[in-house]
């Protein structure tokens, strides 16, 4: 059922490459005016999902709509702006020329000057694209994504390779777009970025959704402690580690073990009472990234 109010909707999408389902029955929706982040490690299927939502990749199964239209319809394209992870630009055109070209593709574009200023490229406006640095190219992609004043904005890993300053400025631009009522779908593998920008996070791994909620809910679900120790007899005892109380996840390498737990006291007590031959015991807070890794990687056998 196509609803023209819903900016983007993906229903039960599957994408098969060879014998593998890169995206497996994934459904996703963005509400008007919200910023939603699609979060997951590399290879989770985020970019493929976005491509299917945009009609840039054919779905093996499933449906996608943008404002009720088929994504490849011009009516859908005219309301959508996209910043893609993998794309190129003609090297010999100037910045203002490519911006002008894109501007003419949309019914109600903003001025070239505004788009170039928002991307902080005013001083490079006469330069050829070949002469831009990596970061400047990223910003140009952003200018091209917003020149059409789209109601729906897709940003695919937009701050990869940016330094902290550039990233913060970029985040500010996103917040400004959001304040103007735009719907923004952001894919990222940085939990910090999803946390900073999104009202809602969908966590994706191995082609399907593993969690969804507000940033607070997601963090509460993953935050905890890591208990680390060394044991000369780890090879013999590692199988029993999973049976310890409070264990979310166990990782072992050589004779070192990492136990992820939200109840570290309980876990440590059981660890020390059990026959584990524990040395160099450490209990630390899991950083956001470590907690995220715990959520999205397979538990050790």
Q: Using CB under 8 A, list all residues that contact another protein.
A: 54, 56-58, 74, 77-78, 80, 82, 84, 86-90, 92-93, 97-98, 100-111, 114, 117-118, 128, 141, 144, 146, 148-149, 173, 176, 179-181
Query: Minimal distance in Å, beta carbon 287 to another protein?
Result: 32
Least Å distance between CB 234 and another protein?
A: 47
Q: Which residues contact 125 (CB under 8 A, 6 or more apart)?
A: 94, 95, 96, 116
- In three-state secondary structure terms, 222 is helix
- 56 vs 283 by CB, closer to another protein: 56
* Minimum distance, C-beta of residue 238 to another protein, in the bound complex (Å): 44
Q: How far apart are CA 252 and CA 88, in angstroms?
A: 42
Report the alpha-carbon distance of residue 172 to residue 57 in Å, rounded.
Answer: 31
Residue number, 140 or 268, with CB nearest to another protein: 140
Q: How far is the CB of 95 from another protein (least distance, A)?
A: 13
CB of 165 to another protein, least distance (A): 17
Please say which residue, 99 or 294, places its beta carbon nearer to another protein: 99
Note the Cα 52 to chain centre separation in Å. Answer: 15
C-alpha–C-alpha distance, residues 298 and 131, integer Å = 43
| Helix, strand or coil, per DSSP, at residue 119 | coil
- CB neighbour list of residue 77: distance below 8 Å, 6 or more residues apart: none
The minimum distance between CB 53 and another protein, in angstroms, equals 11
Q: Residue 151 or residue 290: which is nearer to another protein going by CB?
A: 151
The first and second tokens of residue 295, run together, are 């959520």
* Torsion angles phi and psi, residue 16, rounded to 5: -110, 130
Closest CA to 39 of 163, 280, 211: 211
The least distance separating another protein from the CB of residue 226, rounded to whole angstroms, comes to 40
Nearer to another protein, 8 or 118 (CB): 118
Contact partners, residue 217, CB within 8 Å, separation at least 6: none
Question: Are 138 and 86 within 8 A, CB to CB?
Answer: no
With respect to another protein, which residue has the nearer C-beta, 102 or 229?
Answer: 102
Q: Which C-beta is closer to another protein: that of 120 or that of 210?
A: 120
Is 99 in a helix, a strand, or coil?
helix
How far apart CA 237 and CA 255 sit, in angstroms, is 10
């Amino acid at each position: 059922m196509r609803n023209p109010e819903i900016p983007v909707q993906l229903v039960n999408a599957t994408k098969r490459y060879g014998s593998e389902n890169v995206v497996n029955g994934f459904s996703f929706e963005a509400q008007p005016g919200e910023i939603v982040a699609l979060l997951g490690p590399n290879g989770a299927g985020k970019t493929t999902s976005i491509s299917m939502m945009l009609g840039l990749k054919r779905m093996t199964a499933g449906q996608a709509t943008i404002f009720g239209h088929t994504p490849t319809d011009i009516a859908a394209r005219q309301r959508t702006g996209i910043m893609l992870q993998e794309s190129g630009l003609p090297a010999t055109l100037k910045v203002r020329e490519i911006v002008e070209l894109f501007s003419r593709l949309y019914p109600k574009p903003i001025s070239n000057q505004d788009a170039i200023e928002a991307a902080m490229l005013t001083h490079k406006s006469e330069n050829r694209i070949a002469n831009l640095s990596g970061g400047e190219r990223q910003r140009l992609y952003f200018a091209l994504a917003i020149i059409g004043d789209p109601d729906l904005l897709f940003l695919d890993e937009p701050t990869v390779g940016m330094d902290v300053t550039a990233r913060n400025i970029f985040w500010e631009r996103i917040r400004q777009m959001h304040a103007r009522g735009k719907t923004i779908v952001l894919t990222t593998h940085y939990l910090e970025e999803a946390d900073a920008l999104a009202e809602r996070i969908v966590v994706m791994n191995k082609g399907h959704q593993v969690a969804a909620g507000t940033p607070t809910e997601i963090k509460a679900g993953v935050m905890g402690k890591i208990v680390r120790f060394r044991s000369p007899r780890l090879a013999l005892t590692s199988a029993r580690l999973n049976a310890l109380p409070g264990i979310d996840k166990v990782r072992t390498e050589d004779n070192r073990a990492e136990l992820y737990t939200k109840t570290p006291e309980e876990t440590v007590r059981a660890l020390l009472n059990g026959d584990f031959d524990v040395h160099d015991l450490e209990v630390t807070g899991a950083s956001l990234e470590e907690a995220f890794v715990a959520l999205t990687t397979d538990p050790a056998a």
